[in-house]
Every structure is written in structure tokens, then in C-alpha cells.
Chain A
Amino acid sequence: GQSLEQPSEVTAVEGAIVQINCTYQTSGFYGLSWYQQHDGGAPTFLSYNALDGLEETGRFSSFLSRSDSYGYLLLQELQMKDSASYFCVADNYGQNFVFGPGTRLSVLP
């Protein structure tokens, strides 16, 4: 099976940088992705890592280390609209997708 761990809550101020960590335990693993979900909304795709290293997409970056079974999402220049829940998702060779429990990010003025 697969299980993922994330911090339940993170708080930061506008303009700051925040890192949301994700550790995973899997019987098979292909890649790690990140989704954002605002309250009452649908998850939206942010980033995907199949290889070790850093992927950068605008203000968001995602990192994966397969040897450490670890990844993180880095959000820079935080804005109020970034307040949302963030989920890491493990992909088992496209056969199953397991969501982490989510990290609720609160951005303060």
C-alpha cells in the first residue's frame, strides 16, 4: 500500500516563502504531484516530479528525492489568494493515485 504524510497546517505572511513537506511510503512509486484546493472548490494541478530534483513553475517549485522518499512544495512571494489546502499525490505507475491528508496554508496580511 501507500501512505503519505504532510503537516496539517502552515501559516505565513504575505510576501514570505513557505515550504510544505511530504514523505511517502509506497510499495510502488512512479512520481509525486501537488494539487491546490480552495475551500469549496475542486483540486487544481500545480506540479509533478517523476525524477529527482527541482521543478519550477512561476512562484511554485516542487522537489523530489526518491532515495529519501521525500518531496516538498515551495511557494514564493506568498499572496493572500494562496490560502488553500495543498495535497501531495503519489502515483503508483499510473495504476493508483494516493492523496496525502493535505496541508492547510493560511497567508496573513
Chain B
Amino acid sequence: DADVTQTPRNRITKTGKRIMLECSQTKGHDRMYWYRQDPGLGLRLIYYSFDVKDINKGEISDGYSVSRQAQAKFSLSLESAIPNQTALYFCATSDSSEPADTQYFGPGTRLTVL
């Protein structure tokens, strides 16, 4: 089984809908991250969490919210989806005992907002 899983893998929705993307990990890591990637570009950090009670905004948090339900689960919500949120979304984890840059990524969720 994969260490970092994301559901759904693909989602098509309409403008104005609320969408939740879920991430689960079995690596036992305390840190989790959400990124988005637009075609031909690098990843941009949306939110990150260093433990269950710690939530921090990243570079592009506007229009998004997150919830860290447990150490192993970190969900990303789009309260009212808009077309420019169409992108590939990645969840990642890392462990505080390792250099924080050693992140392990899930397979990604491809979101299309019509």
C-alpha cells in the first residue's frame, strides 16, 4: 500500500461548489503539506501543519481551508470553487526528525473547475 494516499484522484466540479480533497499517510510523520501545481510550473505551498494543533498558511492560502483531523489525515477544502483553482494538488508529509525538506508526496489529485 502507498504511504501517502489522496482521494479523489480526479474530480470535475462546477464553479461555486464546495470541494474537499483528502490526504492520509501511514508513514507516522508529524508534518503534512498541501501544494498546487499549474501546468509547466513548480509547486506552490497552500497550507502546512507541523502537528495536529498547528496549522499555517503558505504562499497561496486564499480561497482554501484545511483541517488536520488526526496525525495521519489532512484535508483541503475549496469553499466555493472557481475556474482558476483548476490544478494538480499534491499532499506531502515529512518527519521532524529529518531535515524538513525531505518531503514525501502523494500521487496527486487532478481538479477541474468548470
A→B interface (CB under 8 Å): 31, 33, 41-45, 48, 50, 87, 89, 91, 94-102
Contacts and interface: CB of A to CB of B under 8 A. Distances in A.
B42 A101 contact: yes
Interface residues of B, number: 23
B41 A91 contact: no
Contact of A96 (B59, B90, B103, B105): B59
B101 A95 contact: no
A43 B43 contact: yes
24 contacts: A31-B101, A33-B99, A33-B101, A33-B102, A41-B107, A42-B106, A43-B43, A43-B90, A43-B103, A45-B101, A45-B103, A48-B101, A87-B43, A96-B59, A97-B48, A97-B103, A98-B45, A98-B59, A99-B43, A99-B44, A100-B42, A101-B41, A101-B42, A102-B41
Contacts of B56: 95
Interface of B: 33, 35, 40-45, 48, 56, 58-59, 90, 99-108
A44 B105 contact: yes
Given A43-B90, A89-B101, A97 B45 contact: yes
Give the most central of A44, A87, A94, A101: most B CB within 10 Å.
A94
Contacts of A48: 99, 101-102
Contacts of B44: 99
A96 B45 contact: yes
